[in-house]
Amino acid sequence: MSGPGLFRRAVSISATVTLYCSRIMSVDESVLTTSNGTSGSSSDTPRDDADVRVAARSRLAGWLPLAAAVLGLLSFLLVRGSLTDDGYITLAYAKNLALHGEWALVPGSVANSATSPLDVLLLGFLTFVTRISGSAHPVVALGVLTVLSSGAIGWAWLRFTRRFRLAPWVGLLGLVLVIANPFLLSATGLEVLLVPAVLLWLVVFALEGRPVLFGAVAALTVLTRLDLIVFVLVITFSAAAIRKRFWVAFGTAVAVSAPWFLVSWFALGSFIPDTLVIKQDQEGLFGPWGYFSGPMMYFLYLPLTVMLAFASALVGVVVLLAWLGVRFARRWDDFPKLAPVVALGLGGVVYYIVYSTLGVGPYHWYYVTPMVSTATFAVLMVGIWHAEAKQRPGLNRGVPLVALSLAWLVGLGNVAVDVAQGVPWPSPVIFGNWASSADYARVGRELGARLQGKSVAGPGEIGTLAYYCDCQILDVFSDRTQVATIVTKRIAEDSKFSSLGLRINYHWFKRNPPRKVDYRLLYDKGPGSGPDEWTVYSAAKGVGHFTLVPER
């Protein structure tokens, strides 16, 4: 075939393929617009370029759940060897649940210091599944749950992008700002990824007006952390469709969550986990710093990290105030359909205020919830502004585009901070434990062999030791007789209202006599030597050592 003939044939084939592809995209977009409840036409109706672009963006956004799962996997591989001590508390609970069917931090000693029942239940189930290999692997279970939680966040962003016709890269930005946050990654092992997952799905079902599913997710939310009831209430009353069928949503939430809370109240002796009274009893542990002023404490030794981690959250607060101001000044018609999104940001602010009044310490994972909620709200609102500006000539397109570009710089800055810590991490970015997880694992294994069934009073950090020791290591998180002392003191000293709440919560609590302690494990700075001493290293504390001494 001659050159010109070959060229004409190629043009003809190209035109045919292009026409065929355009028809496929038209069919896909017709289905998309119909499923979203917007006006759509049959596949035979010609579609303009804008509709084709919407269909293409929708298909591209379909990759968000997979992208989120991949980000979750990469983040887990980055931090798996440097989990924080409190993360190992959760893993120890999951391990005992899978192996012994016990709700306990140490074998044979029932406790209720797991802050997130849902996290423990999911990790316990996944750990039980890993037993098909012959032994349980809670850390592998944590990796699976990290990937699944991240995928759930990505799936929620997929729903957001299709509902508001956001550019897919806006959803990817939302994922990066959450999953790459160094405060969140430094608390891997805790429920830090479950929190944004359940909160985003609360917003999804509030926007879609689905009270039964909203109620089910609300139940999972309070099982993730009971203090997330703040978000459940704010988002519930922000959505007209949920308010109108409030009792349906409420009944569903009660039906799903009540079994656990009844078991917790009657069998474990407290409706609320013991963590609240334990943390409140640690007043003075951080010196003059409390939850409200905690970000400044972290800023003093990690200024760049703190600025990048909190930047998008602070922007979220500014956007919230600006939006509410405009809303009450002009009463925009668009507000009802965006109210659940606004409630997500408002919930983060209220949560911060509530925690500031509870008297708890500035543990870094406590800041994850307000950070991820307000940051997600900011990206959603600015992303919606950017999408609307393309449709409405009167709206400014430059401001949201610049804001989203700056947010990308913040997200990539967080990634840079994460990678600069080392690949994989030798220790978390935000870290204050006395020993690395590797050193704690070594001490725990040798301690278990040394004790031979006898009990030991913990040094103050118990999670990693308990996980690897499989021994009777006792402190307030594992030994409920020590919780009884705190509860009795609080009931005697607190206000009448607080005392009444504690009496009700601990009504079924069994106050047993104190446990017998055979040894004590003590920590001190500097290296140690001897048969019952272990030298350890921490990026936060330097060289130190643990000493096992008989209890006198």
For the CA atoms of 409, 412, 416, 418, what is the dihedral angle to 10 degrees?
Answer: 130
pLDDT in tens, 177-198: 999 999 999 999 999 999 999 9
Asked if residue 160 and residue 82 are part of one domain, the reply reads: yes
Q: What is the pLDDT of residue 49?
A: 63
First to last CA, the chain: 100
What angle is formed at CA 141 by the lines to CA 135 and CA 144, rounded to 5 degrees?
A: 140
Residue 24 confidence (pLDDT) above 90: no
Same domain for 459 and 398?
no
- CA distances, 136 to each of 86, 95, 142, 148 (Å): 20, 7, 12, 19
> Structure pTM?
0.88
What single letter denotes the amino acid at residue 439?
Answer: D
- Which residue is associated with the tokens 């509530």? 354
Task: Read off the pLDDT band of 23 (50, 70, 90).
Answer: very low
The reply to whether 87 falls in a domain is yes
Q: Is residue 287 pLDDT above 90, yes or no?
A: no
Residue 496, pLDDT score: 85
Using the structure block, give the residue that is written with the tokens 């959603």: 380
Same domain, 478 and 383: no
Q: What is the mean pLDDT of the chain?
A: 87
Q: What is the mean pLDDT of residues 477-496?
A: 88
For residue 6, tell me if it sits in a domain.
Answer: no
Same domain, 181 and 83: yes
User: Do 359 and 278 share a domain, yes or no?
Assistant: yes
pLDDT at 331: 55
Q: Of 372, 217, 345, 355, whose CA–CA distance to 292 is shortest?
A: 355
Residue 389 and residue 290 share a domain: yes
* Last residue in a domain, options 363, 392, 420: 420
Look at residue 114 and tell me if it is in a domain.
yes
Q: Evaluate whether residue 151 is within a structural domain.
A: yes
Cβ atoms 466, 105 nearer than 8 A: yes
pLDDT given at position 79? 97
Looking at the predicted structure, is the pLDDT value of residue 283 above 80?
no
Q: Is residue 238 part of a domain?
A: yes
Query: 452 and 391, same structural domain?
Result: no
Residues 449, 413, single domain; the answer is no
Please give the average per-residue pLDDT across 202-218, as a whole number: 97
Q: Look up residue 236 and give its two tokens.
A: 């519930």
pLDDT at 48: 61
pLDDT given at position 350: 97
Flag whether 348 is in a domain: yes
Element of type H or E holding 362: none
- Is residue 334 very low, low, confident or very high in pLDDT (cuts 50, 70, 90)? low
> Which structural domain range is residue 169 located in?
64-420
How do strand 472-474 and strand 519-525 relate by DSSP bridges? unpaired
376 shares a domain with 325: yes
pLDDT digits (tens, 9 = 90+) for 238-256: 999 999 999 999 999 999 9
**Residue 271 domain-assigned (yes or no):** yes
- Assess if residue 161 is contained within a domain: yes
Residues 415 and 463 in one domain: no
Helix axes 194-208, 335-358, angle to 10 degrees: 150
What per-residue confidence (pLDDT) applies to 37? Answer: 41
Q: What integer is the mean pLDDT of 319-331?
A: 76
- pLDDT tens-place string over residues 384-412: 988 888 777 777 778 889 999 999 999 99
How far apart are the C-alpha atoms of 338 and 414, rounded to whole Å? Answer: 28
| Residue 136 confidence (pLDDT) above 90 | no
pLDDT reported for residue 329: 58
Q: Is the pLDDT of residue 28 over 50?
A: no
Please determine, for residue 12, whether its predicted confidence score (pLDDT) is greater than 80: no
What pLDDT, in 10s, does the model give residues 214-231? 999 999 999 999 999 999
Q: Structurally, how many domains does the chain consist of?
A: 2
User: Taking residues 486-502, what's their average pLDDT?
Assistant: 87
Q: Do 400 and 523 belong to one domain?
A: no
Cα separations (Å) of 439 from 77, 219, 523, 529?
19, 38, 13, 15
**Using one digit for the tens of pLDDT, what is the confidence trace for 405-464?**
999 999 999 999 999 999 999 999 999 999 999 999 999 999 999 998 899 999 999 999
Percent of the chain with pLDDT over 90: 69
Q: Assign residue 128 a region: left if phi > 0, alpha if psi is -120 to 50, beta otherwise?
A: alpha
Alpha carbons 362 and 375: distance in angstroms, whole number: 20
Q: What are phi and psi of 526, to 5 degrees?
A: 85, 165
Same-domain check for residues 539 and 395:
no
- Of the candidates 372, 392, 420, which is a domain's last residue? 420
| Tokens 């607190």, residue located | 494
Q: What phi and psi, each to the nearest 5 degrees, are found at residue 537?
A: -135, 140
Q: Which residue type is seen at 154?
A: G
Report which residue type is found at 126.
Answer: L
